[in-house]
């Protein structure tokens, strides 16, 4: 399985990448929403998962999620917002835009794996 | 806990304690006012907060401390080195998460900017900052309103 990490912080991409890599994902990275769209356009097939920060330069995560949801060829991508935005109205907006899950920074590796398990994206997942 | 006024020192300190613990696997404590807080050259991270109060949070630390924070965040061993760009990025992300925690505790509609990190050779004045510990070293924190 492949996972795309969209975050303007190289450190955060590295942390999330390590968690996902240990969980068996091939990891792709982009530094903002536009870079991520460009990367997706060049792939032969969409990744199973995208972990998306909210606040980024050029194109923010909410816009990226909206763009992905508007393209039928990327409908199979599971979208997880990973962000410092913790207010309930932000969570509602992200889910309404098409995010499947929402993880607030700071988070632990265990918390991210629990989300992935709920989404049925771990080898041992039973899903929901 | 949520509050409706500008972020105060206790709120920011609580956010730092949370982030130090969960992201850096370290404890943060208020630095005693009477204790000297030595500083050489270092890095300074800023992030803007916009809402009922407009200003920025600023975190300043010695270069060695910045490297240690980045290493702790990324789980590096003592002999592993990071490029300066990655150290700055990690310190900026730490402040970003602190800012997010502070914003989440405030009532009303607030917006957080993107972190900006630069080098500095001067420690902030103790008069307009408070100091928290990173191990046995000081980290300066400022809550600065926009200039009138």
**What is the predicted ipTM?**
0.89
- Sequence-distant (≥ 6) Cβ neighbours of residue A122 within 8 angstroms: A23, A24, A113, A116
Name every chain A residue with its beta carbon within 8 A of the beta carbon of B45: none
Q: Is the pLDDT of residue A127 over 80?
A: no
Q: What is the pLDDT of residue B78?
A: 79
Task: Give the chain B residue nearest A15 (alpha carbons).
Answer: B74
Judge whether B92 lies within some domain.
yes
Percent of chain B with pLDDT over 90: 70
Judge whether B117 lies within some domain.
yes
Give the residue among B8, B4, B33, B3 at the shortest CA–CA distance from B145: B8
A-B CB pairs within 8 A amount to: 57
Decide: A117 and A125 in contact? Cβ < 8 Å: yes
Instruction: State the Cα–Cα distance between residues B8 and A54, nearest whole angstrom.
Output: 25
- Sequence-distant (≥ 6) Cβ neighbours of residue A11 within 8 angstroms: B70, B73, B74, B86, B89, B90, B93
Instruction: Identify the helix (H) or strand (E) that includes residue B120.
Output: strand B116-120
Three-class SS of residue A11?
helix
- If one counts every other C-beta atom within 10 angstroms of the C-beta of residue A70, the result is 10
Judge whether B3 lies within some domain.
no
Judge whether B4 lies within some domain.
no
Q: Is the pLDDT of residue A125 over 90?
A: no
Task: Give the chain A residue nearest B109 (alpha carbons).
Answer: A87
Q: What is the pLDDT of residue A126?
A: 58
Task: Give the chain B residue nearest A16 (alpha carbons).
Answer: B74
Segments making up each domain of chain A, as ranges: 2-118
How many structural domains is chain B composed of? 1
Q: Does A10 touch chain B (CB under 8 A)?
A: yes
Burial B73-92 (b: 16+ CB within 10 A, else e): bbeeeeeeebeeebbbbbbb
The alpha carbons of chain A give a radius of gyration, in whole angstroms, of 13
Judge whether B70 lies within some domain.
yes
Residue of B74, B85, B100 lying closest to A14 (CB–CB): B74
Beta bridge partner(s), residue A2? A26
B139: CATH:
3.40.1550.10
Q: Is the pLDDT of residue A115 over 70?
A: yes
Instruction: Identify the helix (H) or strand (E) that includes residue A69.
Output: helix A61-69
Restricting to A residues 41-80, those with a Cβ less than 8 Å away from any Cβ of B are 55-57
- pLDDT (tens digit per residue) in B62-107: 999 999 999 999 999 878 889 999 999 999 999 999 999 999 999 8
Give the homologous superfamily in CATH for domain A2-118: Response regulator (3.40.50.2300)
- pLDDT (tens digit per residue) in A23-75: 999 999 999 999 999 999 999 999 999 999 999 999 999 999 999 999 999 99
Beta bridge partner(s), residue B138? B133
Token pair in block for residue B107: 């009532």
Q: What is the pLDDT of residue B24?
A: 92
Ranges assigned E (strand) in chain A: 2-6, 26-30, 49-52, 78-83, 101-104
- If one counts every other C-beta atom within 10 angstroms of the C-beta of residue A55, the result is 21
Domain range holding B101? 9-31+40-145
Q: Given an 8 Å threshold on Cβ–Cβ distance, is B114 in contact with A57?
A: yes
Q: What is the pLDDT of residue A67?
A: 98
């Amino acid at each position: 399985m492949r996972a795309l990490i969209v975050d303007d912080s190289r450190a955060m991409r590295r942390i999330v990448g390590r968690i996902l890599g240990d969980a068996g994902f091939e990891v792709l990275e982009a530094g903002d929403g536009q870079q991520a769209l460009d990367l997706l356009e060049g792939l032969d097939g969409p990744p199973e998962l995208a972990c998306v920060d909210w606040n980024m330069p050029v194109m923010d995560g909410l816009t990226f999620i909206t763009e992905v949801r508007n393209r039928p060829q990327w409908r199979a991508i599971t979208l997880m917002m990973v962000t410092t935005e913790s207010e309930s109205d932000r969570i509602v907006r992200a889910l309404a835009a098409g995010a499947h899950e929402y993880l607030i920074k700071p988070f632990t590796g265990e918390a991210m794996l629990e989300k992935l398990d709920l989404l049925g994206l771990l080898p041992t997942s039973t899903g929901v | 806990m949520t509050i409706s006024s500008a972020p105060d020192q206790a709120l920011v300190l609580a956010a730092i304690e949370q982030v130090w613990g969960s992201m850096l696997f370290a404890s943060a404590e208020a630095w005693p006012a009477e204790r000297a807080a030595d500083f050489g050259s270092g890095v300074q991270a800023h992030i803007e907060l916009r809402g009922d109060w407009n200003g920025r949070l600023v975190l300043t630390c010695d270069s060695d401390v910045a490297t240690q924070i980045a290493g702790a965040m990324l789980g590096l061993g003592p002999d592993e080195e990071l490029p300066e760009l990655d150290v700055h990025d990690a310190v900026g992300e730490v402040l970003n998460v602190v800012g997010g925690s502070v914003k989440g505790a405030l009532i009303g509609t607030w917006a957080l900017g993107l972190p900006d990190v630069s080098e500095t050779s001067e420690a902030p004045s103790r008069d307009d900052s408070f100091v928290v510990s990173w191990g046995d070293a000081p980290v300066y924190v400022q809550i600065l309103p926009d200039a009138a």
